[in-house]
A and B are shown apart, each in its own frame.
Chain A
Amino acid sequence: DAGVTQSPTHLIKTRGQQVTLRCSPKSGHDTVSWYQQALGQGPQFIFQYYEEEERQRGNFPDRFSGHQFPNYSSELNVNALLLGDSALYLCASSWGGGGGTEAFFGQGTRLTVV
């Protein structure tokens, strides 16, 4: 049973560029959440997708957008990259809109903006 998989694992981008990160949820999960984790900090919630819709959003600008596909996989897009966007981006999957169920995390994508 495959867990949560993210791609790519590492990425280097230039300030002002755009990036797309991908996530495949754990088998049987239909909800995907994205987090940004800066060095030495806890993960910060970006948004959650359920039934192909953005259900919740954290305090992130519109430069951060996403999508969920019918197979429940998801993408995170970040436009006009800033140096401060450098972080580990984590995807977590769960079942049924999140609810009280625990989330399982992918290994993350480490994004460096130069």
Chain B
Amino acid sequence: RKEVEQDPGPFNVPEGATVAFNCTYSNSASQSFFWYRQDCRKEPKLLMSVYSSGNEDGRFTAQLNRASQYISLLIRDSKLSDSATYLCVVKAGGYQKVTFGTGTKLQVIP
């Protein structure tokens, strides 16, 4: 089993739709969680951290379920500019070993 797993997609959704991605992780000692966004041939950029209580930033909501070992990202009212690959990142261990998922590709269609 991979340390961090994501559905690679692509998720093709119309503008205005709500879309959700899940990411599962295998290391129960994982401590920090993030969602990054990566545009084609560009570097990943932090979208949001994921807190135990869940957190929201505008149209984006991230949640953590430690019992089931997954994090989720919900995007409401999708925009064309949301088209990108969304990477799940998990940190664990004393020096916070970082593991990326393979990413989920989102394509928002007009």
Residues of A within 8 A of B (CB): 33, 35, 40-45, 48, 50, 55-56, 88, 90, 97-100, 102-108
Interface CB pairs A-B, < 8 A, 29: A40-B102, A42-B4, A42-B6, A42-B87, A42-B100, A42-B103, A45-B97, A45-B98, A45-B99, A45-B100, A55-B95, A56-B93, A56-B97, A88-B41, A90-B44, A97-B95, A97-B96, A98-B91, A98-B96, A98-B98, A99-B96, A100-B31, A102-B34, A103-B46, A105-B43, A105-B45, A106-B43, A107-B43, A108-B43
For B45, what are the chain A residues with a Cβ–Cβ distance below 8 Å? 105
CB proximity of B40 to chain A, nearest CB, Å: 11
A-contacting residues of B (Cβ < 8 Å)? 4, 6, 31-32, 34, 41-46, 49, 87, 91, 93, 95-103
CB distance from A103 to the nearest CB of B (A): 7
If over half of B's interface residues share one DSSP class (helix, strand or loop), that class is named, otherwise mixed; here it is strand
CA distance A55 to B93 in the complex (A): 12
Residues in A with CB closer than 8 Å to B93 are: 56
Q: Compute how far the CA of A44 lies from the CA of B44 in the bound complex, rounded to whole angstroms.
A: 13
Residues from chain A with a CB closer than 8 A to the CB of B41 are 88
Partner pick for B98 among A50, A88, A103, A108, CB 8 A cutoff: A103
Cα separation A98 to B32 with both chains bound (whole Å):
11
Beyond A100-B31, A100-B32, is A43–B95 a contact (Cβ under 8 Å)? no
Q: A98 contacts which chain B residues (CB < 8 A)? A: 91, 95-96, 98
In the bound complex, residues from chain B placing their C-beta under 8 Å from that of A55 are 95
- Residues in B neighbouring A105, C-beta threshold 8 A: 43-45
